[in-house]
Every structure is written in C-alpha cells, then in structure tokens.
Amino acid sequence: GNSVTQMEGPVTLSEEAFLTINCTYTATGYPSLFWYVQYPGEGLQLLLKATKADDKGSNKGFEATYRKETTSFHLEKGSVQVSDSAVYFCALLASGGSYIPTFGRGTSLIVHP
Amino acid sequence: EAEVAQSPRYKITEKSQAVAFWCDPISGHATLYWYRQILGQGPELLVQFQDESVVDDSQLPKDRFSAERLKGVDSTLKIQPAELGDSAMYLCASSPGQGVGYNEQFFGPGTRLTVL
C-alpha cells in the first residue's frame, strides 16, 4: 500500500535558522505530493504541492522538490520565524482507481526567538 | 472566503453512547473526506465520498461507525456505541473536481471528541 514517512520531531530551531523536514514516500504510479501545516487548535491547510517529478512547490518561503529517483519531497526554508511554529504533514494522492490520500505522522517545528 | 464547516467543535460523551458529527463542505466540492486524527499522529482516512457515493471506506470500523452524504452536499459521521479509544480529533475535508489527483484538500476546524 501507499505510505509516507516523515522525520521524527520535534524540530527545535532558533529564529532565522535553516529548516529541513524530510519526507519519503511509497506509492504506486505517479502520486501528487503535498505539504500541509497545522497550527494549534486548527485544521490543516495546504502549504505547497507538486504534481510531477522535478516540480518544485513553493509558498511563504517554503520549498519542496518532487524527487522521483529518491521518492522524496523534503520541505525547506532558508530562514524560519517564530510564527512558523506548527506541525507539518507530508501527504500524497496516488491513483489506484480512485485518488486516496495518505498522510505522514507529522513533524512538530518549534522556533525560538 | 469559503470554508468547510464542522459541528460541534467539541463533544464529550460517555462510552456506549451515540455521537454524531456534521460537515458542510465548500459549495461545489464533489469530494468529501472524513479523517480521524489521534494526538501526535497524522490524519487517518475513514471514508471518502465522491458526490453521494462512497469511494473508499476500507479504514472505517463499520461495526460502530457509519457515514452518509445523502444529497451529495453535507455529511454526517456517526459512532454508536462510542468507546474510550475513539477519543480523537475528527476532521472533515473537501476537494473540487472528480477523480483528479492534484487537487488540494480544504479542511474544517475539526471536532474534538472525548469519550469518558
């Protein structure tokens, strides 16, 4: 079956540090890949997405590149802010007759001033 | 800005009681999802609807959970009877299009269920 593996958290950084959150996946066919963010007490919201190999998704300074050869979709940001503190989820939509979503366990990010 | 609505936001119940959650997706969104999210984990898909039809319910505990989307618009998820292990956040999401693999999901705020 399909699966998404994310690095364990929490990731704790100082403001303006570089961020990487690793995500690898297993899927049949050619999935679309997503990063969602969840702030405390809220539902998930889309951060960025990529729909085919070598696509780069970007939003609010965050980037992730769809690497088919390594089945990865790592999230990066050059300079994090305290307001980026949240839980980040990697997800995929893979075709298997219907597009069924699969989420990773989430990685908590804590940014200190 | 259109949003996915869920109610109630919080629900406390005793085990063996029945509970129901309601979701109203963004207008025009054909696909509706119900997820269970246990604290510290990612969302687990319970059921996916395309209009009024169930696309996937392979992870739905059918002995106690049921879901319906009778007119292909809003949806209800029911648990009867509730068990202690059902305590979790129940998330509803919707997505435009039919059978499209690249569309994002729009999530509601969730219903926090506590079973005592």
E strands, chain B, are 5-7, 10-13, 19-24, 31-37, 44-50, 53-56, 65-68, 75-79, 88-95, 106-107, 111-115
Q: Does A100 touch chain B (CB under 8 A)?
A: yes
A44-96: per-residue pLDDT in tens?
999 999 988 999 999 999 999 999 999 999 999 999 999 999 999 999 988 66
* pLDDT of res. A76: 98
To the nearest whole number, what is the mean pLDDT of chain B? 92
Q: Does B102 touch chain A (CB under 8 A)?
A: yes
* pLDDT of res. A99: 75
Chain A residue with minimum CA distance to B43: A103
- Residue B99 confidence (pLDDT) above 60: no
Between residues B101 and B5, the one the model is more confident about = B5
Find, among A35, A14, A13, the residue nearest to A25 by Cα: A35
Give one DSSP letter per residue of A31-80, joined into a string: -EEEEEEE-TTS-EEEEEEE-STT-EEEETTEEEE-BTTTTB--EEESS-
The conformation of residue B105, written as its DSSP 8-state character, comes to: P
Q: Are A43 and B110 in contact (CB < 8 Å)?
A: yes
* pLDDT of res. B89: 95
Q: Find where tokens 């693999």 sit.
A: B101
Q: Are B50 and A98 in contact (CB < 8 Å)?
A: yes
Q: Are A24 and A68 in contact (CB under 8 A)?
A: no
* pLDDT of res. B98: 61
Q: Does A42 touch chain B (CB under 8 A)?
A: yes
- Residue B2 confidence (pLDDT) above 90: no
Contact list, A46 vs chain B (CB under 8 Å):
104-106
Across the range A27-35, mean pLDDT stands at: 88
Q: Are B43 and A102 in contact (CB < 8 Å)?
A: no
Banded pLDDT at B38 (limits 50, 70, 90):
very high
A2-28: per-residue pLDDT in tens?
899 999 889 999 999 999 999 999 988
List of long-range contacts for A10-14, beta carbons under 8 Å, 24+ apart:
A10/A107, A10/A108, A10/A109, A10/A110, A11/A107, A11/A108, A11/A109, A11/A110, A12/A110, A12/A111, A12/A112, A13/A80, A13/A109, A13/A110, A13/A111, A13/A112, A14/A111, A14/A112, A14/A113
Q: Are A45 and B107 in contact (CB < 8 Å)?
A: yes
Banded pLDDT at A106 (limits 50, 70, 90):
very high
Q: How many CB pairs under 8 A join A and B?
A: 64
- Residue B10 confidence (pLDDT) above 90: yes
Q: Does B60 touch chain A (CB under 8 A)?
A: no
* pLDDT of res. A97: 58
B51-82: per-residue pLDDT in tens?
999 988 999 999 999 999 988 899 999 999 99
